[in-house]
Amino acid sequence: MPSRSSDTRPKASWALTLAALGTLLFLHVPMWIIFLYTLTPEEATYTFPLPGFTTKWYGVALQRPDLWRSLTLSFQVAAIATVVALILGTFAAAAVYRSNFFGRESISFLLVLPIALPGIVTGIALRTAIGGLDIPFSFWTIVIGHATFCVVVVYNNVLARFRRTSATMIEASMDLGANSFQTFRHVVLPNIATALLAGGMLAFALSFDEVIVTTFTAGQQTTLPIWIFSQLSRPRDRPVTNVVATIVILITFLPIFFAQKISAEASDTEGETK
């Protein structure tokens, strides 16, 4: 196996470095401001510098039963939507990659469309369809709504992995007497495992903090993002809202971070074996 060559790419110019730093600050400073105001000792004051520091709002937030109900609901919805997305996204990617049929590119476009459309358009469409079928809005309608865009994430990850996987491996497995299930279990699944893991993590993160589609499909249910949105009209609860927003940032950051690491490591491994 050839050794990895040293990186000979030129260093970035100071202008490019400043541009990258400015972009990072633009994206992340608002999140740090939210964290900063979780430490304010006063309820409805947004002054800088802070009049003091306290961590009491974390204890107040963790004692709110309505928060725990919303947090539990969001975890349940995200978990089930992710499982549905993993199944449907994998099957769809396999069908598009392995089969040559009329309208294949159109099918691929329609699968990706839900995540490209504005959330409010998807939400209105889902609400109209669910209402037209006389389906009561409940936990399961939220899952259906979230699965529509979670499928796209899994589909894109798995399809990209299929396209980087040699088709001769599957053909060799079938030629050696393996049936379809054995080929999937011993050849296909190990090759797409990291893509499934990364796609599942991204799908969970997207579902957990989704608010627009949820608003149209939730009925009387209150997920954590909807709970946060409802709290914005209560100025005296702002520190608690900031605490919960910080928790959401951490919960969604971890799956995205690990998904990116897994995808990068898988790409590096493929590059070394070529």
What's the rounded Cα separation, in Å, for the pair 22 and 271? Answer: 32
Alpha helices in 45-188 (DSSP H): 56-62, 65-98, 104-116, 119-132, 139-163, 167-175, 180-183
In this prediction, residue 177 carries a pLDDT of: 73
Please tell me which residue, 25 or 76, carries the higher pLDDT value: 76
Please tell me which residue, 244 or 178, carries the higher pLDDT value: 244
* Region label for 260, one of left (φ > 0), alpha (ψ between -120 and 50) or beta (otherwise): alpha
In this prediction, residue 8 carries a pLDDT of: 61
Helix (H) / strand (E) containing 205: helix 189-208
* Region label for 53, one of left (φ > 0), alpha (ψ between -120 and 50) or beta (otherwise): beta
Helices and strands, counts by H and E, the chain: 12, 0
| b/e 130-163 (16+ beta carbons within 10 angstroms → b) | beeeeeebeeebbbbbbbbbbbbbbbbbbbbbbe
Q: Collect all residues with Cβ–Cβ distance below 8 Å to 198 and sequence separation of at least 6.
A: 157, 259, 260, 262, 263, 266
In this prediction, residue 35 carries a pLDDT of: 81
Start-to-end CA distance of the chain, whole Å, equals 8
Tokens coding 237? 């609860």
Predicted confidence band of residue 270 (pLDDT cuts 50, 70, 90): low
What's the rounded Cα separation, in Å, for the pair 67 and 229? Answer: 12
Q: Is residue 41 pLDDT above 90, yes or no?
A: no
In this prediction, residue 82 carries a pLDDT of: 93
What's the rounded Cα separation, in Å, for the pair 129 and 163? Answer: 34
Select from 234, 215, 235 the least CA-distant residue to 226: 215
Predicted confidence band of residue 42 (pLDDT cuts 50, 70, 90): low
Q: Is residue 1 pLDDT above 50, yes or no?
A: no
What's the rounded Cα separation, in Å, for the pair 131 and 133? Answer: 5
Please tell me which residue, 42 or 33, carries the higher pLDDT value: 33
Q: Convert the pLDDT of each residue in 124-139 to its tens digit.
A: 988 998 888 888 888 9
What's the rounded Cα separation, in Å, for the pair 83 and 151? Answer: 9
What's the rounded Cα separation, in Å, for the pair 251 and 209? Answer: 9
What's the rounded Cα separation, in Å, for the pair 109 and 261? Answer: 27
Ordered by where they begin, the domains of the chain are 56-269 (1.10.3720.10)
